[in-house]
Amino acid sequence: MNTSISNFLYKFRFLSDFLAIGGLCFCLIMTIVTLRISIDIVDEINEVRDVFMRKSEEFKMYADDASYLIENGQHHQKYSEMFGILIKS
C-alpha cells in the first residue's frame, strides 16, 4: 500500500512539489492580508476613539459653561444673548 502511494508521488513529484509550494505561498499571502486588515481595523478604532474623546471634552466644556451660568443665575440672560447672536448670523 505504501509502495503504491510512494510510486504515485514519485511519478508526479513535480506536481506535488508545485502544489505544496503553492499552498505555502497561499497561506503566506492570506496571513499578510489578514495582518494588514487587522492593522487597518485597529487604526480605524483608534481614530474613532480619538474623535469621540475630543467631542466628549467639548461637550464637557459646554456643560461646565451651562452649569456655571445656571449657578450664577445668569442663564436666562446669557441664553437669550446666544440665541439672539445665532438668529442674527
- pLDDT, tens only, 27-38: 999 999 999 999
| pLDDT of 34 | 96
**Rounded average pLDDT over 74-88:** 62
Task: Take residue 37 and report the three cell numbers written for it.
Answer: 486588515
Which amino acid is residue 4, in one-letter code? S
**Rounded average pLDDT over 42-51:** 88
Whether the Cβ atoms of residue 78 and residue 69 lie closer than 8 Å to each other: yes
- Domain with 57 in it: 2-88
Q: Which residue has the cell 474623546?
A: 53
Domain count, the chain: 1
